């Protein structure tokens, strides 16, 4: 802005000096040459924020979570619509600055107005968006907005921030030392779930996605106002009723139209002859509207009933009496069939819907559910005793009491580690000897601040394994812990350790 101003002043100063026609022509030519680069210079430059993951890990994470997503969502799986969407999406993605991701665009067979993107490229558009858009530019606007979340790495940026911020139980097993995307996802509870940290953006991220989305539309010669117009339209339609689902993951930052208009100004102002619609869009929209209505059923993202208004004080579903089995590299465990397991490798989180909550700082924290992982005690302090030749080798190599003492020591060390990121955590019922699947184990009860406010109980169970200390943490707010304890105990009884 300032620069433009200076140039204008300079032009006026030069103007009177330019007495001959030749001077004036030279000036016009100079300005014409300068203008395009000025528009570039005023473009808002956006770059991804701090990130502990590599861009390759974004792609890996997105692919992993997309598998989970597509199991839970009803996909439209219509080649004609998917082709149209991919052609449009690829053109838009080609205009996104920075890293080139393997974008993929798919339609979800859901009439709710929603769209989301996963790190590294997968973009999902509900059929409701196509049905609600007035023209191709509006649909392109939603896609450009989602592409911008990918290009700006908003999902993994949030996951990164959550993992270093003080977050109950997040640091289990040395998160920062872990290179496993699966383990990290599990520790963050960051799979494909309502309020997943990968999907729920901050207002700042929304404004950035609007700005970059505007640039993408502009560069592809679409009416760049269309995106904000569409968001305003779906917002207005919902006044008095439920807000469009879109806003549950993409909170309205306010001033959308002004922000977009300002960026259009930065880019050099509205273009003449921009595209608003295509016949192809009208055909596809008519076609999608003619497709059979999606069957009613549970749709993970349309969880507007229990989870729309933040999570403070919300109560997830009670553990179901039916159980399903899940297995990872460490163990097999049964869990209530209305809970979900996330993760791979050593780390796994099993939570009811709504069990992961926002801690108020934009971080996802475990309020209800359990975590399983392996902890490697520091070699310098206990390693020799724990992993030396005498440990766990049966009679003659140290007594059962010794084994228990060592297990308790390793458990204490884990608790010390947990306290680093959970300052108000304290032991309320120290080590009790129990057995898990025939192995000696220790049970410890801890009290901690709940991310829902108030206190929570963490039931920590540890088992010594050759690869380290296997631990399970069962968590619920104090007021609910008794109600969940039976389910937790059943889960523990069902554990079969991989040997
Ligand atoms: Zn968004």
Going from the Cα of 397 to the center of ligand 1, the distance in angstroms, rounded, reads 60
How crowded is residue 40: how many other Cβ atoms within 10 Å of its Cβ?
A: 12
The label of the residue with tokens 């640091």 reads: 171
Least confident stretch, 79-93, 162-176, 244-258 = 162-176
Going from the Cα of 202 to the center of ligand 1, the distance in angstroms, rounded, reads 8
State the pairing for strand pair 104-108/122-126. Answer: parallel
Q: CA-CA distances (angstroms) from residue 304 to 12, 30, 244, 301?
A: 59, 57, 9, 8
Least confident stretch, 44-53, 69-78, 303-312, 408-417 = 303-312
Same domain, 241 and 111: yes
Backbone phi and psi for residue 389, each to the nearest 5 degrees, phi listed first = -65, -25
Backbone phi and psi for residue 21, each to the nearest 5 degrees, phi listed first = -60, -40
Least confident stretch, 253-257, 260-264, 331-335, 345-349 = 345-349
Going from the Cα of 199 to the center of ligand 1, the distance in angstroms, rounded, reads 9
**Is position 387 within any domain?**
yes
Going from the Cα of 100 to the center of ligand 1, the distance in angstroms, rounded, reads 19
Going from the Cα of 145 to the center of ligand 1, the distance in angstroms, rounded, reads 6
**Is position 46 within any domain?**
no
Q: How far apart are CA 486 and CA 475, in angstroms?
A: 12
What CATH number does residue 491 fall under?
3.40.1000.10
Quick one: pLDDT at residue 382? 46
Q: How confident is the model at residue 89 (pLDDT cuts 50, 70, 90)?
A: very high
Going from the Cα of 256 to the center of ligand 1, the distance in angstroms, rounded, reads 12
Q: How far apart are CA 365 and CA 167, in angstroms?
A: 6
Q: Cβ(423)–Cβ(454) under 8 Å?
A: no
Same domain, 219 and 144: yes
Same domain, 164 and 186: yes
Q: How far apart are CA 156 and CA 101, in angstroms?
A: 14
Quick one: pLDDT at residue 95? 96
Going from the Cα of 39 to the center of ligand 1, the distance in angstroms, rounded, reads 25
Closest to 437 (Cα-Cα) out of 390, 499, 375, 487: 499
Quick one: pLDDT at residue 376? 79
Going from the Cα of 146 to the center of ligand 1, the distance in angstroms, rounded, reads 6
Backbone phi and psi for residue 192, each to the nearest 5 degrees, phi listed first = -90, 95
Going from the Cα of 250 to the center of ligand 1, the distance in angstroms, rounded, reads 4
Going from the Cα of 214 to the center of ligand 1, the distance in angstroms, rounded, reads 13
Domain edge (last residue) among 270, 290, 310: 290
pLDDT surpassing 90 at residue 129 = yes
Quick one: pLDDT at residue 105? 97
Closest to 351 (Cα-Cα) out of 207, 186, 181, 173: 186
> What whole-number percentage of the chain has pLDDT above 90?
38
Quick one: CA dihedral 379, 385, 386, 387, positive or negative?
Answer: positive
Going from the Cα of 82 to the center of ligand 1, the distance in angstroms, rounded, reads 21
Same domain, 356 and 276: no
Same domain, 283 and 419: no
Same domain, 275 and 370: no
The label of the residue with tokens 């890990």 reads: 57
Q: Which helix (H) or strand (E) holds 333?
A: strand 331-336
Going from the Cα of 183 to the center of ligand 1, the distance in angstroms, rounded, reads 26
Going from the Cα of 130 to the center of ligand 1, the distance in angstroms, rounded, reads 17
Going from the Cα of 325 to the center of ligand 1, the distance in angstroms, rounded, reads 35
pLDDT surpassing 70 at residue 176 = no
Going from the Cα of 20 to the center of ligand 1, the distance in angstroms, rounded, reads 54
Same domain, 154 and 234: yes
Same domain, 35 and 75: no
Going from the Cα of 207 to the center of ligand 1, the distance in angstroms, rounded, reads 8
Both structure tokens of 262? 């300002």
Rounded to the nearest integer, the mean pLDDT of the chain is 78
**Is position 316 within any domain?**
no
Going from the Cα of 251 to the center of ligand 1, the distance in angstroms, rounded, reads 7
Going from the Cα of 230 to the center of ligand 1, the distance in angstroms, rounded, reads 13
**Is position 471 within any domain?**
yes
Q: How confident is the model at residue 383 (pLDDT cuts 50, 70, 90)?
A: very low
pLDDT surpassing 90 at residue 93 = yes
Q: Cβ(315)–Cβ(450) under 8 Å?
A: no
Quick one: pLDDT at residue 192? 55
Q: CA-CA distances (angstroms) from residue 8 to 20, 27, 37?
A: 20, 12, 15
Going from the Cα of 482 to the center of ligand 1, the distance in angstroms, rounded, reads 39
**Is position 304 within any domain?**
no
Q: How far apart are CA 392 and CA 117, in angstroms?
A: 48
Going from the Cα of 324 to the center of ligand 1, the distance in angstroms, rounded, reads 34
Going from the Cα of 269 to the center of ligand 1, the distance in angstroms, rounded, reads 24
**Is position 255 within any domain?**
yes
Q: How far apart are CA 218 and CA 47, in angstroms?
A: 18
Which residues, at least 6 apart from 231, have a Cβ–Cβ distance to it below 8 Å?
Answer: 246, 252, 256
Going from the Cα of 149 to the center of ligand 1, the distance in angstroms, rounded, reads 7
Same domain, 22 and 80: no
Closest to 356 (Cα-Cα) out of 307, 389, 395: 307
pLDDT surpassing 50 at residue 142 = yes
Domain edge (last residue) among 290, 315, 347: 290
Going from the Cα of 150 to the center of ligand 1, the distance in angstroms, rounded, reads 10
Which residues, at least 6 apart from 440, have a Cβ–Cβ distance to it below 8 Å?
Answer: 400, 403, 404, 407, 433, 463, 464
Going from the Cα of 253 to the center of ligand 1, the distance in angstroms, rounded, reads 10
Q: How confident is the model at residue 251 (pLDDT cuts 50, 70, 90)?
A: confident
State the pairing for strand pair 323-327/369-375. Answer: unpaired
Q: Cβ(451)–Cβ(357) under 8 Å?
A: yes
pLDDT surpassing 60 at residue 303 = no
Going from the Cα of 123 to the center of ligand 1, the distance in angstroms, rounded, reads 12
Going from the Cα of 249 to the center of ligand 1, the distance in angstroms, rounded, reads 7
Q: How far apart are CA 16 and CA 269, in angstroms?
A: 28
Same domain, 203 and 71: yes
Same domain, 34 and 62: no
Q: How confident is the model at residue 353 (pLDDT cuts 50, 70, 90)?
A: confident
Q: How many domains does the chain have?
A: 3
Going from the Cα of 59 to the center of ligand 1, the distance in angstroms, rounded, reads 19
For residues 329-343, average pLDDT:
86
Going from the Cα of 188 to the center of ligand 1, the distance in angstroms, rounded, reads 21
**Is position 366 within any domain?**
yes
Which of 91-105, 263-277, 365-379: highest mean pLDDT? 91-105
Domain containing residue 343: 323-497
Going from the Cα of 459 to the center of ligand 1, the distance in angstroms, rounded, reads 37
Going from the Cα of 212 to the center of ligand 1, the distance in angstroms, rounded, reads 11
Q: Which helix (H) or strand (E) holds 375?
A: strand 369-375
For residues 231-256, average pLDDT:
82
Domain edge (last residue) among 231, 266, 290: 290
Going from the Cα of 172 to the center of ligand 1, the distance in angstroms, rounded, reads 30
> What whole-number percentage of the chain has pLDDT above 70?
73
* Phi-psi map region of 426: left, alpha, beta (phi>0 left; psi -120 to 50 alpha): beta
Least confident stretch, 172-181, 305-314, 418-427 = 305-314
pLDDT surpassing 50 at residue 30 = no
Closest to 436 (Cα-Cα) out of 481, 483, 389, 474: 474
Same domain, 100 and 235: yes
DSSP string covering 386-412: HHSTTTT--TTSS-HHHHHHHHHHHHH
How crowded is residue 389: how many other Cβ atoms within 10 Å of its Cβ?
A: 9
Q: How confident is the model at residue 379 (pLDDT cuts 50, 70, 90)?
A: low
Going from the Cα of 342 to the center of ligand 1, the distance in angstroms, rounded, reads 24
Q: CA-CA distances (angstroms) from residue 149 to 48, 86, 152, 192, 255?
A: 9, 17, 5, 16, 19
Q: How confident is the model at residue 103 (pLDDT cuts 50, 70, 90)?
A: very high
**Is position 279 within any domain?**
yes
């Amino acid at each position: 802005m300032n620069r433009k101003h200076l140039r204008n002043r300079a032009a006026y100063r030069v103007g009177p000096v330019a007495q001959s026609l030749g001077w004036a022509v030279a000036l016009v030519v100079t300005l014409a040459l300068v203008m395009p680069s000025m528009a570039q210079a005023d473009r808002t430059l956006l770059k991804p924020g701090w990130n502990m993951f590599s861009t390759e890990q974004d792609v890996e994470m997105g692919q992993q979570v997309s598998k989970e997503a597509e199991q839970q969502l009803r996909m439209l799986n219509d080649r004609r619509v998917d082709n149209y969407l991919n052609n449009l999406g690829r053109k838009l993605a080609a205009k996104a600055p920075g890293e080139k991701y393997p974008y993929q665009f798919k339609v979800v067979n859901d009439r709710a107005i929603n769209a989301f993107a996963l790190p590294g490229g997968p973009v999902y558009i509900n059929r409701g968006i196509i049905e609600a858009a007035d023209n191709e530019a509006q649909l392109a606007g939603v896609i450009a907005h989602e592409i911008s979340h990918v290009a700006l790495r908003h999902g993994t940026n949030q996951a990164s921030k959550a993992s270093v911020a003080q977050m109950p139980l997040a640091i289990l097993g040395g998160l920062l030392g872990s290179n496993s995307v699966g383990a990290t996802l599990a520790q963050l509870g960051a799979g494909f779930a309502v309020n997943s940290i990968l999907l729920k953006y901050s207002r700042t991220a929304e404004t950035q996605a609007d700005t970059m989305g505007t640039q993408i539309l502009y560069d592809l010669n679409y009416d760049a106002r269309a995106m904000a117009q569409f968001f305003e339209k779906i917002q207005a339609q919902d006044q008095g009723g439920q807000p469009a689902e879109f806003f549950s993951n993409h909170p309205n930052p306010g001033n959308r139209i002004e922000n977009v208009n300002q960026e259009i100004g930065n880019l050099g102002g509205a273009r003449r002859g921009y595209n608003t619609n295509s016949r192809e869009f009208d055909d596809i929209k008519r076609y999608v509207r003619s497709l059979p209505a999606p069957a009613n059923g549970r749709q993970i993202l349309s969880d507007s009933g229990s989870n729309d208004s933040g999570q403070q004080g919300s109560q997830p579903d009670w553990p179901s009496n039916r159980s399903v089995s899940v297995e990872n590299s460490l163990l097999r465990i049964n869990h209530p069939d209305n809970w979900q397991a996330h993760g791979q490798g050593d780390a796994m989180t099993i939570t009811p819907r709504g069990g992961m909550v926002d801690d108020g700082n934009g971080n996802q924290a475990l309020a209800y559910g359990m975590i399983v992982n392996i902890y490697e005690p520091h070699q310098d302090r206990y390693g020799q005793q724990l992993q030396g030749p005498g440990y766990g080798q049966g009679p003659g190599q140290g007594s059962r009491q010794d084994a228990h003492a060592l297990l308790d020591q390793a458990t204490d060390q884990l608790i010390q580690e947990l306290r680093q990121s959970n300052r108000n955590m304290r032991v309320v019922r120290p080590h009790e000897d129990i057995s898990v699947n025939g192995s000696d184990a220790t049970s410890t009860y801890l009290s901690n601040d709940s991310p829902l406010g108030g206190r929570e109980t963490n039931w920590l169970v540890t088992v010594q394994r050759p690869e380290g200390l296997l631990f399970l943490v069962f968590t619920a707010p104090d007021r609910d812990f008794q109600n969940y304890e039976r389910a937790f105990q059943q889960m523990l009884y069902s554990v079969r350790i991989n040997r």
